Amino acid sequence: MSTTVDVAPAPHTTPEVIAHPSRVGAAVLSGGLTAALGVAGISLGIAGLFHKVASVHIGWLVPLVGVQLNLDPLGGLFVTVTGAVAVPVGVYLVGYARHEHLPRLSLAVLPLFVAAMLLVPMAGSVTTFLLAWELMALASLALVLTHHRRAEVRTAGGLYAVLTQLGFAAILTGLLVASASSGADTFAGLAAHLDRMSPGTRSVVFVLTVIGFGSKAGLLPLHAWLPRAHPEAPSPVSALMSAAMVNAGIYGIVRFDAQLLGPGPRWWGLALMVVGGASAMYGVLQASVATDLKRLLAYSTTENMGLIVLALGAASLLSSVGARDLAAIALTAALLHVVGHAAFKSLAFLCAGAVLAFTGLRDLDQMGGLARRMPTTTVLFGIAALGACGLPLGAGFVSEWLLVQALIHAPRGGDSTLALAMPLAVGAVALTTGLGVAAMVKAFGLGFLARPRSEGAAKAREATPSMVIGMTLAASVCAVLAVAPVAVGPALRHVLDTLSGIAVPNTPRLGVMLRLPGAGSMSPALLAAALAVAVLAVIALAQWGARHRPEPATVPLWACGADTLTPRMQYTATSFAEPLQRVFDDVLRPDTDVEISHYAESRYLVEKVAYRAQFTDAIEERLYRPVVRGVLAWAGWVRRAHSGSVHLYLAYGALGLLFVLVAAR
Amino acid sequence: MSSTYANAIDLTAGGFMLAGVMIVWRRELRSLVRLLAWQGAALAAFPFVEGIHQHDGALVAVGIAIASLRVGLLPWLLRRAVGAEAEDRRESTPLLNTTASLLVAGGLIVTAFAISRPLVSLDPSTATRAVPAALAVVLLGVFVMVSRRRAVSQAVGFLMVDNGIAATAFLTTAGVPLIVELGASLDVLFAVLILGVLTGQLRHTFGDTDLDQLTELRDL
Amino acid sequence: MGWPRRIKRIGRIVESATGAPGPAVAAPTAVTGSLQIRHVDAGSCNGCEIEVSGAFGPVYDAERFGARLVASPRHADALLVTGVVTRNMAQPLRNTFDAVAQPKVVIAVGDCARNCGMFTDAYGVVGAVADVIPVDVTVPGCPPRPQDIIDSIRSVTDR
Amino acid sequence: MTAGGVFAAALQGVGVAAGAPFVVGGMRQVRARLEGRAGGGIGQPWRDLRKLLRKQVVTPNGTTVVFAFAPAVIAGSALLIAVAAPLFATGSPLDSSIDLFAVVGLLFIGTVALGLAGLDTGTAFGGMGASRGLTVAALVEPTIMLAVFALSIPAGSTNLAAIVSTTQHHPGQVVSPAGLLAFVALSIVIIAETGRLPVDNPSTHLELTMIHEAMVLEYAGPRLALVEWASGMRLTVLLSLLANLFLPWGIGGDHPGVAGVLVGAAALVIKVAILSTVLAAGEVFMAKLRLFRVPELLAGSFLLGLLAVTASYFFVPALGGST
């Protein structure tokens, strides 16, 4: 597949190569700092979750308004999640940076990035929020451009810069409108003086903020930066961006559109559901045909963010028709999925980073057979993939279960919008789950099982201890979430209390047994236990007649009578995805071509057949190109005003000044 | 009694709509005709059930008449038209691929549900609750006529529209007068006969019943 | 429309089973009445293939004795080899034999498989099946009658 | 969780485990008779299983634990569904902890395990089977979810027992448009899920036409026995669910006595026998669908499922289910 990218730092297959000592020191320092920040974030966040944090106001830091920091349970949840992502990444970084020779700048910026991400949910006022947001954006941009010598990285960075700044502009406008019309800068003030805002203004703010935060969360149609930037960044950075930074977008939507402005009119919920559902299905579709491992994971991020926003929209819609207990279920689903996604996506990206570091491969077509050479990484990626496909025993299962419950229990026979939106949403979630499984089976089965399809894969080594430790930390969180969501139950309840505007708190009960307000219950822990028992029982049953069996034997693969099967005869990721690509041809619009070259002697003898399928992001093709063309045309028009004569420019300036003076008179 | 009546109406409505979806789904002309016969049976069941429920002999008679027409005569005519087709032309190739047309069909049905809601809420009785299904079949029939190539499948679409309209009539006004229904059915019969003739003419002129061929006539 | 009536009219066309022949070899795994068979054409003139397909067809119906043709030697307990072993098929035949899990039986069907038949010392012939892999049961005939093939199978499945 | 419920659940596990091969054998027998053959008898699959369990365990070169344990996972998940689902009685102790969503998830886990095993061998056919199997599953599992959600919406719960008992008390729901659409959708996807005609031909020898068989080409002996047994159990469980979700008559209640459980068992045996006979008889008249026409079939059933859910939101039945 032509999405293959040759990776700049050559894989170090010889363990003897140890980096320059000062570089080692830098790696340890940066990793330690990141992990420490993470620990601080976790402790602070948990304190915030249980209302233990007083608000801080630093007047001198920023003129006029100062910096306002306070941490309520909602912010506390996101701070905790970010911290929980930062800890494994920090540990992992120690080994990764030494092996991959990350430049000092990136090592220095990484903790800053984490700090900025921790700051965003702590912000208590619009100004502080915007400052932290921009700091986060710039830091992440610097990190994306780490390997800036490669063209793909530069284009990805450019796209990221443009989209994130556009998003920032939207957020800026929206929040300024909000605080201007309500005459308050702090969030508390906003909430207090909400009545000063006309419904129209609130809707404007809603649209602007959703656009801005959606671009950060990688929602359609502003997702295009995500599948480019996340793969190109160094893997620890990808993990941070894809597991923690995108959550900032979700946080923004919850904070402003659900808590401060909400509960909004009905179409807010519908709009969120449409955007979320579209993102989920489009993301999972692209993921199921992607063959670049990190690109696949990035698209899966779009998918999961889409599911979360779908849940938020459902919550808002349900509360607007008065079903506030169901809204609570949907909200719980959204928040739980934020946590779960952070866990399994960070783990997945860290594993992908390990693979990239020790095989130099990102293209699934060329991987394979890693299970024998890097067993630990394989197991850990398996845990992540299980979580990502939302199957039982996975970290994503419970949240998807809650989401579906909220959708199918919606009041019936009431109004048409609900009766139209809910079934379609259920269908979207169901289809997303199905395709997500196909995508993850492809990533795991073709990347780690089977036989190596390239030199790099054949020469793979297990990751270094610190990387393994980092990954194991994330994996343990996945395991806890998979079987015992009760662990986060109390925290989520406190968060729901802060969102009492749209949801009745204290539902559902996340015990060992998940109980819904209505009928309906499910227990992931019991499910896991029962499955384990059943599998053991089956293994015991399979011993029937064992004493009559001849000695077990290891035999060559069945090659249909031929002597050997070469690895080239295996299915690749491209061929695995081919049927799905065929089914969804109309959406994906791949450009495929088959070229057949014949022998010189006779054109009846085929020498080789080359099949190429390239997936360009259809939305990017159809939506962005025209916009860019328009902007260019406009710029060309503006250029006419540029004669190059200084006097003319001075005249422009003078006119502008005059105009302002007259206007501001 | 009333519960079984309600169930019967619900079942009929479901089968009526299901047959419509299946017609959009399938390609072979023969199975289209068979499904149409099913739908005719479902249509006939509406007045039949109503009649039994209200002890109205006329309605039962209407039901039987419709059954003989929709399940017996019309499918027979259509089957003859299909039989005359060359073997390799017996698949009606839709202009849209099946998946897309299924999506469209789903959209149409949901729309039908949505727009017929006020109608139902006018007087929510057992019969009127089945109106959305009938309306959905009308839309599906139009869609079939739009999206299919062969003349026979055009006829099928036309008959679906008529089925839908008739069903709506039965469900809203508990049974139209016998004479009206018979007149309507006669028109339908003529229409189908004309379509049959048209099919034959097409085959003689082009050796094919692909309606796109008619564009050839433009410049003559 | 016509099919159900046709099926009803035809009814059972299978020939009534004759008395079971004595077991030629002990049934593998000592479970009688179950034999998955992988058919290998080692270089046959396809005369035997026609008879084999006859033996598994509706008239002789080998399935009623627990025999079934399978797609992979891994699923098989027996190899049903037809024809002389040609040079190109010798190694594939060995590979197939090795691919079958223990315990396994080899049935050589037809004169060619038994003793190269008319192809004795012909060009490109390695030999009879027994020269390449151990054979347990042989079925004479050129080609053998389906009934003989059935009997050989029953002598293994012992049913 | 009552003694009767525990007894019913245990009996379900044993019954499905022991009865699945007979269901497969029965279907083969029906086919054989309709083709004019005598057939191997309804006990043939059991003979095959017993024989396979006495054969050698062979491990192909280069395969990992995934290949070794996938059969146990498939069989285990199927067995767990058999224990948890309301087959003989609705009072299974696991019912409250394994709901519909979880059941579909368990089915999917089995499919995934088999697909990974196919990929693990690293053969062309294994990969091909996995690719096709997962493509079909990715379209089938959502349809199963939708179809049964359409039934669980009136019940107001996704716990299978609740759905079944609701249908018991308001039989009208089955014949509602939603019920009808859901039934058709569910029957189609069950045919696809269990790899029957016209989606997949369980008795094909041509690797290139295989879906399910291609994934298990490398399995032999006891592991193959587990795979065959598991696919039989999946078929049986799905047919039983189809039967009990739409025609729950005869099934034992939440606190069943021994008699109730036995009656439920007998009723289920009859239902499954009828359903499997119909399925097998239908297969005689069908040819395998071209692989690239299969998605059209599944898209159709997905649409029916979606319409079923929509209909169950719109048509609130006159009696019952308006929870």
Average pLDDT for residues A330-359, to the nearest whole number? Answer: 91
CA distance A92 to A111: 14
Q: Which value does ipTM take for this structure?
A: 0.86
Higher pLDDT, A149 or A14: A149
What confidence score (pLDDT) does residue B210 get?
65
SS3 at position C157: helix
Q: pLDDT at residue D315 above 70?
A: no
pLDDT > 60? residue A4: no
Cβ-Cβ contacts under 8 Å, C74 against chain D? 58, 217-220, 224
Backbone angles phi, psi at D252, to 5 degrees: -70, 160
In chain B, whose CA is at the least distance from the CA of A584? Answer: B99
At A446-470, the pLDDT tens digits run 989 988 888 888 888 888 888 899 8
Amino acid B185: pLDDT:
67
DSSP C65: G
Q: Give residue A73's pLDDT.
A: 87
The two tokens of residue A507 are 């539902």
Return the H-helix or E-strand segment holding C80. Answer: strand C78-82
Confidence of residue B202 (pLDDT cuts 50, 70, 90): low
Per-residue pLDDT band for C10 (boundaries 50, 70, 90) equals confident
Partner-chain residue, chosen from D176, D300, D310, that has the shortest CB–CB distance to B10:
D176
Cβ neighbours, 10 Å, residue D250: 18
pLDDT band, residue B100 (cuts 50/70/90): confident
Q: Enter the DSSP assignment of A205.
A: H
pLDDT at D72: 95
**D301: number of Cβ within 10 Å:** 29
In sequence order, which residues have a C-beta less than 8 Å from that of residue B207 and are 6 or more positions away?
none
Give strand ranges (E) for A437-563.
509-510, 514-515, 521-522, 553-555
Q: Give the pairing of strands C105-109 and C137-139.
A: parallel
Rounded to a whole number, what is the distance in Å from the CA of C131 to chain D's nearest CA?
25
DSSP-assigned letters across all residues of A527-551: HHHHHHHHHHHHHHHTTTTGGGPPP
Give the domain-ending residue among A530, A546, A566: A530
Which of these ranges, A321-335, A461-475, B163-177, D123-137, has the smallest mean pLDDT? B163-177
Q: Which residue of B has its CA nearest to D181?
A: B18
pLDDT in tens, A469-495: 989 999 999 998 888 888 888 888 888
Query: What's the rounded mean pLDDT across residues A386-391?
Result: 90
Give the Cα separation of C113 and C82 in Å (integer). Answer: 6
3-class DSSP state of A56:
strand
Q: How far apart are CA A465 and CA A15, in angstroms?
A: 13
Average pLDDT over residues A47-68: 76
> Does C103 contact A558 at a Cβ distance shorter than 8 Å?
no
Nearest chain B residue to A587 by CA: give it: B100
pLDDT reported for residue B86: 61
Please, which pLDDT band fits residue C16 given cuts at 50, 70 and 90?
confident
AA identity, residue A130: L
What per-residue confidence (pLDDT) applies to A308? 94
Kindly state the percentage of chain A with pLDDT values over 70: 94
DSSP letter assigned to residue A512: S
Residues of D in contact with C33 (CB under 8 A): 44, 47
Mean of pLDDT over chain B: 77
* DSSP per residue, A144-168: HTTTTTSHHHHHHHHHHHHHHHHHH
Instruction: Please provide the distance, in angstroms rounded to a whole number, between the alpha carbons at the two ends of chain A.
Output: 63
Average pLDDT over residues A50-54: 75
- Inside any domain, residue A368: yes
Q: How confident is the model at residue D112 (pLDDT cuts 50, 70, 90)?
A: very high
Flag whether pLDDT at B198 surpasses 80: no
More confident residue, B82 or D154: D154
- D48/C contact by beta carbon, under 8 A: yes
Residue D157: predicted pLDDT: 83
Let me know whether A644 and A502 are in one domain: no
pLDDT confidence bin for B178, thresholds 50/70/90: low
What angle is formed at CA A62 by the lines to CA A205 and CA A40, rounded to 5 degrees? Answer: 85
Chain C partners within 8 Å of D220 (Cβ)? 74-75, 101
Predicted pLDDT at A601: 83
Instruction: Give the pLDDT score at D156.
Output: 80
Provide the shortest C-alpha distance from residue C79 to chain D (in Å): 15
Mean pLDDT of D158-169: 85
Distance CA A598, CA D243 (A): 57
Residues of B in contact with D318 (CB under 8 A): 3, 6, 126, 129
User: What distance in Å separates the CA atoms of residue D191 and residue D188, rounded to the nearest whole number?
Assistant: 5
Q: What is the pLDDT of residue B52?
A: 85
Identify which of A435, A526, A549 has the shortest CB distance to residue D54.
A549
Report the pLDDT averaged over residues A350-371.
89
Residues 412-431 on A with a CB inside 8 Å of D are 412-413, 418-420, 422-424, 426-427, 430-431
Output Rg (C-alpha) for chain B, integer angstroms.
Answer: 18
A630 and A509, same domain (yes or no): no
Least confident range from A383-397, A508-522, B78-92, C95-109: namely B78-92
Distance (Å, rounded) from C-alpha A518 to C-alpha A411?
12
Measured in degrees and rounded to the nearest 5, phi and psi for residue A579 equal -60, -45
Query: Per-residue DSSP letters for A257-296?
Result: IIIIS-S--HHHHHHHHHHHHHHHHHHHHHHHH--BHHHH
Mean pLDDT over each residue of chain A, to the nearest integer = 85
CA D16 → CA D85, D228, D236, D265, D268, distances in Å? 11, 14, 7, 10, 11
Instruction: Please say if the pLDDT value at position D110 is more than 90.
Output: yes
Residue found under tokens 């822990």: A525
Q: What mean pLDDT is predicted for residues A566-591? A: 84
Task: Give the residue-averaged pLDDT of B99-105.
Answer: 82
DSSP A396: T
In this predicted structure, the answer to whether residue B155 has a pLDDT above a threshold of 70 is yes
Q: Which of B100, B110, B113 sits opposite A586 (nearest CB)?
A: B100
H/E stretch holding B61: helix B57-67
Looking at chain D, the whole-number percentage of residues with pLDDT higher than 90 is 40
Q: Which residue has the tokens 């343990």?
A: A476
Q: Please state the φ and ψ torsions of residue B189, each to the nearest 5 degrees.
A: -55, -50
C113 pLDDT band, cuts 50/70/90, is very high
Q: What number is the average pLDDT over the span B44-50?
A: 84
Tell me the chain D residues in contact with residue B18 when contact means C-beta distances shorter than 8 Å: 177, 180-181, 184, 304
CA-nearest residue to B111 within chain A is A420
Q: Is A5 exposed, middle or buried (0-12, 13-18, 19+ CB in 10 A)?
A: middle
Contact A558 C92 (CB under 8 A): no
Task: Specify the higher pLDDT residue, C55 or C32.
Answer: C55
**What does B63-114 look like in DSSP terms, one character per residue?**
HHHHHIIIIIIHHHHHHHHHHHS-GGG-B---SS-HHHHHHHHHHHHHHHHH
Subunit contact B99:A583, Cβ cutoff 8 A? yes
B182 — pLDDT class (breaks 50, 70, 90) = low
Q: How many CB atoms lie within 10 A of CB A478?
A: 25
Nearest to C102 among A550, A558, A563 (CB): A550
Q: Nearest CA to CA, how far is C146 from chain A (Å)?
A: 27
Q: Which of B29-43, B188-202, C21-35 has the lowest mean pLDDT?
A: B188-202
Verify that A87 and A227 share a domain, yes or no: yes
Comparing CB atoms, the residue among A420, A583, A586 nearest residue B114 is A420
Of the spans A230-244, A258-272, A571-585, C85-99, which averages the highest pLDDT?
C85-99
Nearest to A85 by CA among A105, A113, A62: A113
Q: pLDDT per residue over A70-114, tens digit each?
A: 888 888 899 999 999 999 999 998 888 888 778 888 888 889 999
Instruction: Find where tokens 């502008």 sit.
Output: A656
Please state, in angstroms and as integers, the Cα–Cα distance from residue A236 to each residue in A149, A163, B45, C26, following that order: 19, 22, 67, 64
- What residues contact residue A665 under an 8 Å CB cut-off, 6+ apart? none
Token pair listed for B1: 């009694």
Domain range for A647 is 624-663
A382 and A487, same domain (yes or no): yes
pLDDT average, residue stretch D37-49:
90
Closest CB from B8, B14, B129 relative to D181: B14
Distance from CA of B112 to the nearest CA of A (A): 11
**Token couple for D94:** 């696991």
Q: Mean pLDDT throughout D99-114? A: 91
Per-residue model confidence (pLDDT) at position B213: 61
A37 and A111 in contact (C-beta within 8 Å)? yes
For residue D234, pLDDT over 50 is answered with: yes
Number of domains, chain A: 2
- pLDDT at residue number B14: 85
Please write the tens of the pLDDT for every residue from A417-430. 787 888 889 999 99
Report whether pLDDT(A16) > 80.
Answer: no
Neighbours of A637 (CB within 10 A): 9
Residue B121 CB neighbours (<10 A): 9
Question: Mean per-residue pLDDT for C105-118?
Answer: 92
Give CA–CA dist D121/D230, Å, rounded: 20
Summarize the confidence of residues C112-120 as an average pLDDT. Answer: 89
* Domain coordinates in residue numbering, chain B: 2-219
The verdict on residue A181 lying in a domain is: yes
B102 to chain D: which residues are within 8 Å by CB? 296, 299-300, 303
Q: How many CB pairs under 8 A join A and B?
A: 10
pLDDT tops 60 at residue A372? yes
Positive or negative CA dihedral for A521, A526, A532, A537?
negative
Domain locations in chain D as residue ranges: 3-314
Q: Chain A: nearest CA to D33, how far in angstroms?
A: 32
> How many secondary structure helices (H) and strands (E) does chain B include?
9, 0
Give one DSSP letter per residue of B99-159, joined into a string.
HHHHHHHHHHHHHHHHHTHHHHHHS--TTGGGHHHHHHHHHHHHHHHHH--BHHHHHHHHH
Q: What is the pLDDT of residue B1?
A: 45
